[in-house]
């Protein structure tokens, strides 16, 4: 067995900035689990810049022992999670490099909100993006697709590639708690009968109800970001149930990073990206037994959280 074979393979999506970049940095700096880390980004240019920056940081560390072999290896690959061809190309590359079952840790970090300039904020380059709370059909469609459908597609295609004890992390938000829904929706979202088709119907139903102005009659809040992330929380629960008898012992978790200062939230959020990366990295690396006790569950501040 080569030394590379003993290292776990971790993939982080949307890792060129914000929390994704901080997750990669933390994975790179930890020394408990030897890793090959794939920093992925949809833009080759932006991804390569971040890769170069983190690689330079890694080479400076630890300065006292420059001859010590670096435990973790960073690699970059282009990956646009909204593009099925891009996902397939990446999976083919992983198969070539690491075999049919090639991934131990998948962190679905890519996502976000649609930047809506206001009259005071007409520079798309410099103005802080806002978390969208208004709800029009186009915005609902974009946000549900960039947060829910992309992560579900990415995960569905990666599931056969996960190694024994492989784990999948979804970045969600505490805004997506069940209390924002009304009518039958809270019960349906936690039901053991819910399948992927049903979940897609709920997410598409939200988009369509926003278009017709009937979302509240169906029990949805006017918050596309929270509805999309609630879909991912329900998906993590569903995967834990569906894969319960899979011999690989796969693990799934949805993680709230907290309110983190990134391009998505602007400069007033209280947490740094590094603080936002703490719980997803903890869940990605923690003891499998602890994670298995809460398989498919929600996590915040290093602890399981009731949905
Ligand atoms: N910040 C918070 O307070 C907060 C709170 C709760 C949850 N979250 C979640 O945590 C995750 C990271 O948030 P963040 O604040 O770091 O966001 P961010 O600063 O806006 O960064 C989003 C990242 O996702 C990437 N991305 C978007 N669409 C992509 C696609 N189709 N393919 C590949 N990459 C794509 C972006 O790439 P480009 O640079 O190419 O655009 C960027 O790297 C998101 O899922 C977000 O919803 C954040």
Phi-psi region of 296 (alpha: psi -120 to 50; beta: other; left: phi over 0): left
* Residue of 13, 14, 38 with the most ligand 1 atoms within 8 Å of its CB, for mutation: 14
Over residues 86-100, the mean pLDDT reads 97
Determine if ligand 1 sits within 6 Å of the CB of residue 78: no
Residue 101 has pLDDT above 80, yes or no: yes
Determine if ligand 1 sits within 6 Å of the CB of residue 153: no
Over residues 57-83, the mean pLDDT reads 82
Over residues 194-214, the mean pLDDT reads 97
Confidence band, pLDDT 50/70/90 cuts, at residue 25: very high
Determine if ligand 1 sits within 6 Å of the CB of residue 259: yes
Residue bearing the bigger pLDDT, 111 or 125: 111
Cα gap 235→155, rounded to integer Å: 10
The pTM of the full predicted model, rounded to 2 decimals, is 0.93
Give residue 114's pLDDT.
Answer: 81
Instruction: Please measure the distance between the N-terminal and C-terminal CA atoms of the chain and give it in whole angstroms.
Output: 43
Give residue 61's pLDDT.
Answer: 74
Ligand 1 centroid–CA 18 distance in Å is 7
Ligand 1 centroid–CA 251 distance in Å is 23
Residue 133: alpha-carbon gap to chain centroid: 21
Give residue 135's pLDDT.
Answer: 76
Ranges of each domain in the chain = 3-132+147-179+226-305
Residue (of 45, 42, 44) closest to 80 by Cα position: 42
Closest ligand 1 atom to Cα of 273: 16
Over residues 236-258, the mean pLDDT reads 98
Give the least confident one: 117-121, 232-236, 238-242.
117-121
Closest ligand 1 atom to Cα of 81: 32
Over residues 263-289, the mean pLDDT reads 96
The percent of residues above 90 in pLDDT, for the chain, comes to 86
Give residue 3's pLDDT.
Answer: 45
Ligand 1 centroid–CA 65 distance in Å is 35
Residue 113 has pLDDT above 90, yes or no: no
Give residue 60's pLDDT.
Answer: 86
Over residues 76-104, the mean pLDDT reads 97
Give residue 117's pLDDT.
Answer: 46
Give residue 107's pLDDT.
Answer: 98
| CATH number, span 3-132+147-179+226-305 | 3.40.50.720
Q: Are 19 and 277 in contact (CB under 8 A)?
A: yes
Residue 1 has pLDDT above 50, yes or no: no
Average pLDDT over the chain reads 91
Give residue 244's pLDDT.
Answer: 97
Over residues 218-230, the mean pLDDT reads 97
Determine if ligand 1 sits within 6 Å of the CB of residue 257: yes
Residue 176 has pLDDT above 70, yes or no: yes
Which residues neighbour 217 within 8 Å (Cβ) at sequence distance 6 or greater? Answer: 209
Determine if ligand 1 sits within 6 Å of the CB of residue 195: no
């Amino acid at each position: 067995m080569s030394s590379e074979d003993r290292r776990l393979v971790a993939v982080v999506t949307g890792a060129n900035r914000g929390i994704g970049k901080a997750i990669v940095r933390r994975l790179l700096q930890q020394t408990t689990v030897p890793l090959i880390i794939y920093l992925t980004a949809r833009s080759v240019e932006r991804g390569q810049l971040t890769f170069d920056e983190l690689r330079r940081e890694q080479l400076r560390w630890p300065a006292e022992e420059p001859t010590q072999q670096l435990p973790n290896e960073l690699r970059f690959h282009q990956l646009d999670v909204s593009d099925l061809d891009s996902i397939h190309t990446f999976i083919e590359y992983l198969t070539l490099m690491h075999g049919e079952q090639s991934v131990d840790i998948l962190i679905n970090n890519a996502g976000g909100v649609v930047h809506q300039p206001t009259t005071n904020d007409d520079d798309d380059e410099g103005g802080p993006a806002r978390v969208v709370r208004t709800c029009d059909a186009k915005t609902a469609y974009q946000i549900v697709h960039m947060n829910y459908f992309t992560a579900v597609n990415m995960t569905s295609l990666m599931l056969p590639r996960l190694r024994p004890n492989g784990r999948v992390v979804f970045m969600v938000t505490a805004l997506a708690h069940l209390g924002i829904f009304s009518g039958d929706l809270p019960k349906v979202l936690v039901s053991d009968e819910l399948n992927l088709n049903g979940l897609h119907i709920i997410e598409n139903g939200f988009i369509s109800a926003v278009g017709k102005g009937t979302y509240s009659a169906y029990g949805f809040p006017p918050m596309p970001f929270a509805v999309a992330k609630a879909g991912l929380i329900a998906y993590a629960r569903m995967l834990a149930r569906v894969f319960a008898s899979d011999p690989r012992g796969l693990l799934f978790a949805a993680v709230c990073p907290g309110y983190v200062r990134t391009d998505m939230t602007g400069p007033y959020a209280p947490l740094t990206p590094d603080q936002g990366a703490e719980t997803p990295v903890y869940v990605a690396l923690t003891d499998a037994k602890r994670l298995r006790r809460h398989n498919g569950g929600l996590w915040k501040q290093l602890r399981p959280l009731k949905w």
